[in-house]
Amino acid sequence: MVSKNKILIVDDDSNIAELISLYLAKECFDTQIVGDGESALRTVKTYQPDLILLDLMLPGIDGYQVCREVRASSDTPIIMLSAKGEVFDKVLGLELGADDYMEKPFDSKELVARVKAVLRRYKASSASSAPAEPADKIVSFPDLTINLTNYSVTFNGQHIDMPPKELELFYFLASSPGRVFTREQLLDQIWGYEYVGDTRTVDVHIKRIREKTGSSTAWKISTIWGIGYKFELLQ
């Protein structure tokens, strides 16, 4: 028997949470509901969900803090839910490690579609870490090595922690030095053509990569204004 994907719904509005649970149950998902941040952190450990639907405005520990703490020990996919539609809120959620962001009120079909899309991307990412030909999965420069086989990055001799999507984006750009990629091309390549988020996701991930690697005399990730990005060799 095929096991159902488990979805943890974190929302203090019981009516919304029950409605979401009903939509997902119809699509053969197993769901569990909690109404506050502390309960969410406990339940993540016991329920071990395949994906978390996380409201931002929670009593006690808010959704941002829940996301931060989950990300400290797990790469479980997170879709943030919020009535806040400001760009700042979306960017902050993505910077903390959320995989997607939906504004309330939302269409039930879109919610289910996003849940399925995020799960597909996560499973594809997990599958890609299986053993492969090392020569095809490593790019190296004088001060940088990106290894997609074991999902590791070394810069100036130091290991750099990166979640899967950051590393995959970094590897993809570094694999084609000098080539310019549009944000849409990068979304299609790294997140999949079914991704329903916006191109700001790429900007957020590039920002994180730059912050973690600092500056190099051998290479840089250049912004091509109005178009996208390229990995540029300096030597």
Stretch 87-101: mean pLDDT: 81
Tell me what pLDDT residue 99 has: 87
Q: Which residue has the higher pLDDT, 127 or 174?
A: 174
**pLDDT beyond 80 at 126:** no
Number of Cβ within 10 Å of residue 145's Cβ equals 15
Among 169, 183, 181, residue whose Cα is nearest residue 212? 169
d(CA 98, CA 54): 9
pTM for this one?
0.58
d(CA 173, CA 152): 15
> Taking every pair of C-alpha atoms in the chain, what is the biggest distance, in angstroms?
59
Q: What is the DSSP letter of 50?
A: S
- Give the tokens for residue 234: 């300096």
Q: Where are the domains of the chain?
A: 6-127, 134-233
* pLDDT, tens only, 172-207: 999 999 899 998 888 888 887 555 566 788 999 999
Tell me what pLDDT residue 42 has: 94
Number of H helices, E strands in the chain: 8, 12
For the chain, percent of residues with pLDDT exceeding 90:
49
d(CA 222, CA 207): 11
Tell me what pLDDT residue 2 has: 52
- Give the tokens for residue 216: 């190099």
* pLDDT, tens only, 25-84: 999 899 999 999 999 999 999 999 999 999 998 988 999 999 999 988 888 999 999 887
**Residue ranges with strand state E in the chain:** 6-10, 30-34, 51-55, 78-82, 100-103, 138-141, 144-147, 152-155, 158-160, 181-182, 219-224, 228-233
Among 1-15, 39-53, 88-102, the range scoring the smallest mean pLDDT is: 88-102
Residues 175, 230 contacting (CB under 8 angstroms): no
User: Where residue 127 falls among pLDDT bands split at 50, 70, 90?
Assistant: low
Tell me what pLDDT residue 144 has: 93
Tell me what pLDDT residue 180 has: 92
d(CA 34, CA 86): 26
Tell me what pLDDT residue 169 has: 94
Among 74-78, 105-109, 226-230, the range scoring the smallest mean pLDDT is: 105-109
d(CA 90, CA 103): 9
Tell me what pLDDT residue 159 has: 93
Among the CATH numbers 3.40.50.2300, 3.40.50.720, 3.40.50.620, 3.30.300.30, which is that of 6-127? 3.40.50.2300
What's the topology of domain 134-233? Answer: Arc Repressor Mutant, subunit A (1.10.10)
Pairing outcome for strands 30-34 and 6-10: parallel
